[in-house]
Each structure stands twice: as C-alpha cells, then as structure tokens.
Structure 1
Amino acid sequence: MRAAKGPYATGGHMNKQLIVLVTGTAVVPPEARNLITDRGFALREVTDDHVGAEDLHAALDGVSGYLIGGYEEPEPTHFERAVTLEAVAFVGTDFRSYVPGWHTAYDLGIAFANTPGENAASVAEFTVLLALALARPFTAAIVRTPHSPADPISTASPPEGRELGGRTLGVVGAGRIGARVATIAQGLGMSVLYTSPRRNQALEAATGIAYTDLDGLLSRSDVISLHRPGPTADEPPILGRRELAICKDGALLVNTGHHDLIDPVALAWAVEHRSLRAAVDGLGPGDAWAALTALGPERFLSVPQMGFLTRDAGLRAGLRAARAVCDVLSGTGSPDVTNPDFRERRAAVRHGGGE
C-alpha cells in the first residue's frame, strides 16, 4: 500500500486533505488515478487484487472515498469501522452480488455508485468467445512447447465441433450485456430467444428476438447464456436440477454472470447425464466446483473472472467511478449514486437516528 500526497479538497471540506483509496492492479487505469489527484484529492493505492479483510480495514482508515477495483468483497464491518468514508464506487455494475456490506453502507449514509453498461461490450464479446470455445473445443489441441527436444508433440486429432449458425441461442436476462450478445449471435446466423423479469418489447421490435418463459427457453435453446445478477442470500440458483433436466441433450451453457446462478452439483449431473457442456467466467468455491473443473475444459471450461477485463472497459468504468467519488466529495453529487438519499441518511445517523 502506498499513499501519494495531493492538494487540499474544496467544497464542504475546506483546508482538509481528503484521501481516496483505489484497490486492484488492472481495473482502474492510470487515467482514473490521475483524475483523482487532478481533482484535488490524495491517492492511496492497494496494489493487490485480493486484499485481505484486515489489510482492507487498515487501508480504509482515514479515507473519504473508495474505488473497489480489486476482487475484495467488503463486509459490513469494513463500512462500520471506516468512520470517515463518505463515497464508494464499484467499478462495475452488480455490486449487490459482490459487496456483502453494501446494505450497511446505505444504512450509514455512504454514497454508493456503480458504472452500469461500461463493460457491457467487453463481457458480451467474451460470452460469445466462450460459446465458440464450447462449440469448437480446441483447448486440448493447443500445441504447447515441449520441455525438451525429447518430449513428444501430440498429434491427436482435435475433437469434432459444431457450427453456431442456424442454431438457437437462449439469453437469460436481456439487459445491456444480454442484448449485445443477442445481436452478435444474430450476426452469426443464430435465432435468439430471451427471458427476463421484465419483457423488453422495444428490444424485440428492434432486433426480432422472441420472448418466452424460462422453461420454454431451456427446452428450445442449443446455447444458453446467463446475464442475470447473482441471487440474494435467500434465493435459489436460477438453474438447478429441474431446470437443467429441461435442457436439450448436448446443449451449451455459458455463464458470464455470477457463479451462484447455477447449482454446481446439478450442473455436474447435467454434464455427466445430459452431455451438457458449460463455460463459466469465474469459479465458485468448494468441492462441487472443484469436481466440475476436474471434468476437463472440453466439458466444463472455467477461467478466472475476466470478461470485463479489457483496456477499453477499464478506461470507461474507471474514469466514471473516479468521477462519481470525486463529485460526491466535492459536494456536487453524482447521477451514478445508487442511494440518492445518502445525505439525509448520513445526517440521521450522525444525530442518533440511524437505528
């Protein structure tokens, strides 16, 4: 962790130097970090993508702003103990699935911003990449450099693949990312179905994709792509044993949403008994996910969470997050704040009305 000295902030904090914490190594680009110091704030950096709980407590001590740019998952106690913290920005969209303490931040009157849509193109393109990797399973056929001249180079024939053109894609969740995936798939010659909590008739009119319920989508789709936020603590996965049993034999399943959208035990059953192949951007914890990984990448392909990780998306999202935090700390507010009543809530907490 290193701190960089900066000028003094203005706008409600005259003559008080305010610190903004930025975590992670890749998601928040230098341009966003420069914006923070150019706006008159000191920059504190934790160049660790997986900062631990206690180190995060230490890093948050005395800071006024916080950009969540690593893979840490701040708990309620992180916000409770960060008594000077006024503004947080999640460099992404689905903070409710990845920040367990978000509700506590709301309760304490901490402004909480996110950056919806900024990584949609990157995640959509990565989704199609994973679908193609399942349809054309080439990973085992990659020629690797031998450790020594005596090591043989595999000459095994690559497995047979399938074309995506002429097949049906089912999109679960037709928001910014799902809609982009649908249009890319149409460019490949696929028919597209979608299901969503709210029907998007404007999207249907613009693209010609068809709405159906979840069961209808699962039973008719050759490729299924998940684009829903992660379930809350009391919600079951979207896809369990019953839902996966509805899928076509040999269907391809891509999940670039949250890993908890799928029951891993049920997924292992579907891979074994329904010849389903799946790809996930990121991996859940525990033995069930480890067992899936052991099936091999041509049946279950998992990668470290990286769909959002492009230079383009990082620049858009990082600058937007940095701007939101700086705007709140400067007293002007930001349209990206998801709890616009944060000032009233903070005042109530400070006057003993937070219970």
Structure 2
Amino acid sequence: MRITQVAVTPPMLADYPESFAPLRERGIAVRINDGQYPMDAQSLARFVGTAEAAIIGLDEISAILFEMCPALRVVARNGVGMDNVDLAAASARGILVTTPLGANSTSVAELAIGLTITLARHVIPTHNRVQRGEWRRTQGMQLSGKTLGIVGLGRIGKKVAVRAQAFGMRVIANDIAPDAMFAAQHNIEMTGFGRVLEESDVVSLHVPLTDLTVHLIDRAALARMKPGALLINTARGPVIDSAALAEAITTGQLAGAALDVHTVEGRIDAVLAGLENVITTTHLGAYTRESLIATTEMAVDSILQILDGAAPIGLMNPACWPPRA
C-alpha cells in the first residue's frame, strides 16, 4: 500500500508534532485541521481530500466520506469507541479501520474517580456558594466502605475498580463477557445488571454505545437503583435516558449524577440544565496530554505497520486484511 498523505482532524494534535515525526521521516505529508471540529460529513470529506490515510477523532466517519474520498485506504481513530464509525461501509470498500485500544484508559478512569469524589462531597455547589459569599457546609458521603457498581468491566472499568478499592470501596460489576481471572485476582464480584443497580452506592458506566446499550439506564433501571445513589457516566451519552435521569434527580431517587458525555456531542441535554446535583463536563475523559500523545502515537504506529505489511494492532475489521492491491 502506498501512502503519501495523512489528514489529521483533531486540531489539538498540532501541539504534538513529535508524534507525527515517524510519518514525515518517510516523506509522508501530514495535514492537521485548524478549523471546525468535529466536522460535518461534507467538511470532513473536503478536508481529507486525496489523502490515503486519516487520523480521525470525534468526527462522524460515514459512507459519505468514503464516497467522496476514493483514495482513502486507512482510517486510524485517535480515540476508543466505534459508535462514530460506519464500519460496514468501510469494510465494503476495503478501508482499514484501527483504534488505539487501551491508550486512554488511565485518563478516563481517573476522571471517573474524580467525578465520583466531586459528586459525593458536593464540591461544585459548595464552591459556587462560597463564590457568592455564602459559607455553608453540606454533608457528603464517604466512599470508604461503600459499594461501587461497575457496568462494563473492560479496560477502563478495570482501572476504575482498582482505584476505587484503594479508597476502601467494595466493587461489584456486570459485563457481557466477564474476565473471571481479573475479577478473582482483584476480589471483584461479577453479578447481574439488576443487582449492580440495587446494591451500589455509586454506579459507574463503562460500556460501548451499541444497539444493546442505548438507554441501558432508563426509567426502569433508575427505579431499581439504591435510593440516594450516585450515577457516573464517562462512556457515551445515549447510554442514559436523560429525561428519566432528570426525573430521578428531581424526585430524589438519585442523589446526583456526573456526566462527561451527552446525548449530542457539544451540548447538555436541556432537561438536565440547571440541576445543581448534576455535574456536566465536556467529554474530558481522554483529554489529557498523556492520553492524546498515546492515542496519536498508536494511530501513527498503525499506519506505519500497514506500510510495513503487518496487520496493525487495534484493527477493527480484520476481514479486510491483507488490504486490496
């Protein structure tokens, strides 16, 4: 396979030119987007243009891109999660799609723990009151001795579990493909989804967005949660039914929620706006210097591996390997 150009859509990656040095050393031109991000389908296709490879972040990777960019042979995600990728359309055209498995797990896990502490101790509303000149303390919840329920004990969920145990939390978890060895080694009880909801003081979501997980946390699931529990979502916004969550918060069924992801990327759901005990952040999970460098370097490595004739690590459509001539 011949690659002469790589188009890079996340503008912030311009801060890490050293990550692209291996490509440039091979004479490959690297173009980094300095405008809108994420881009709509038409803008993305215009930016990618005649590039044979693209490193893409949050942009929607659809059939439109493949149709408008016939030279494109490789799409390297610089983040995990494939919900923004039409993998079937890519595979139909023989386009290789890679993802940097595990490269951002630590950063996301740290944010999940940070949000848990922030929510449990009412840090943000207390800060806001102090800024208004009010000096009033709010009784919080100690994490030690409490139960953390993890939905999705994958790469990120495992790191959350270990960090929560360092605080003295009991950890239970649910996963469709449980890693029994890891669970046994770390004293994590694998159990049913319903029991995780019913027994946990804090529920932390770490599942991919699929047809099975859209509104996994719906009105019925929220009703099963322990009264006064906390809900943390650093996975994908549509995993939670926002209207049902707003109702559970306002009625007091839940004591609070912390959301790093939202139904639509770039804006908070209107039903959650203004709720004091709902923390919202701007999809910061993987947004650390360390994570950005790691995911970018893995994306670059995958392109180099393909150039060298090796199946890349993190190839999401292995049936397309080896690539078409």
TM-score normalised by L of structure 1: 0.84
Are the structure 2 counterparts of residues 315 and 112 from structure 1 closer, same or farther at C-alpha, using a change threshold of 3 Å?
A: same
Larger radius of gyration: 1
CA distance in 2, matches of 1:158, 1:85: 57
Identity, % of aligned pairs?
A: 30
User: Per the alignment, do residues 290 and 318 of structure 1 end up closer, same or farther by CA in structure 2, a change over 3 Å counting?
Assistant: same
For residues 285 and 245 of structure 1, the distance between their equivalents in structure 2, rounded to whole angstroms, comes to 24
**Could you tell me which residue of structure 2 aligns to residue 243 of structure 1?**
221
Name the counterpart of 2:39.
51
Q: Does 1:270 align with 2:231?
A: no
Q: After the TM superposition, which residues 164-313 of structure 1 pair with which residues of structure 2 at under 5 Å, given as runs?
A: 164-232=143-211, 236-273=214-251, 274-285=253-264, 289-296=269-276, 299-313=277-291
Residues 309-339 of structure 1 deviation map (CA, whole Å, 9 limit, x = unaligned): 1111112111010111233245444232222
Report the secondary structure of 1:63's partner residue.
Answer: coil
**TM-score normalized by the length of structure 2:** 0.92
Q: Deviations over 1:44-88 (max 9, x none)?
A: 11123322332211112111000013x321222111221000111
| TM-aligned CA distance change 1:263 to 1:55, over 3 Å | same
Structure 2: gaps (5+ residues):
none
Q: Which runs of 5+ in 1 are unaligned?
A: 1-11, 147-152, 348-355
SS at match of 1:131: helix
What CA distance in whole angstroms lies between the structure 2 residues aligned with 1:184 and 1:133? 15
RMSD over equivalenced CA pairs, Å: 2.3
Q: Which residue of 1 aligns with 2:54?
A: 66
Residue 313 of structure 2 aligns with which residue?
A: 335
Tell me if the contact between 1:90 and 1:115 (Cα under 8 Å) persists in the aligned partners: yes
Conserved 8 A contact 2:40-2:60: no
> How many aligned positions are there?
321
State the SS of the aligned residue for 1:307.
Answer: coil
Runs of 4+ in 1 over 6 A off after TM superposition: 143-146
Query: Which residue in 1 is equivalent to 2:6?
Result: 20
- Which amino acid letter does the alignment assign opposite residue 118 of structure 1? A
Provide the residue aligned with 1:3 in structure 2.
none
Tell me the amino acid that sits aligned with residue 301 of structure 2.
R
Farther off after superposition, 188-197 or 79-88: 79-88
Give the conservation status (yes or no) of the 8 Å contact 2:87–2:317. Answer: no
- Residue type at the aligned position of 1:116: L
Post-superposition offset of 1:143: 6.4
CA–CA distance in 1 between the matches of 2:59 and 2:322?
Answer: 28
**What does residue 112 of structure 2 align with?**
127
Letter in structure 1 aligned against 2:95: I
Given that 2:262 and 2:268 are in contact with CA atoms closer than 8 Å, whether structure 1 keeps it comes out as: no
Distance 1:94 1:316 in 2: 16
Mapped to 2, the partners of 1:144 and 1:333 lie a distance apart of 55
Residues 268, 144 of structure 1: CA spacing in aligned structure 2 closer, same or farther, 3 A cutoff? closer
Change (3 A) 1:180 1:343: closer
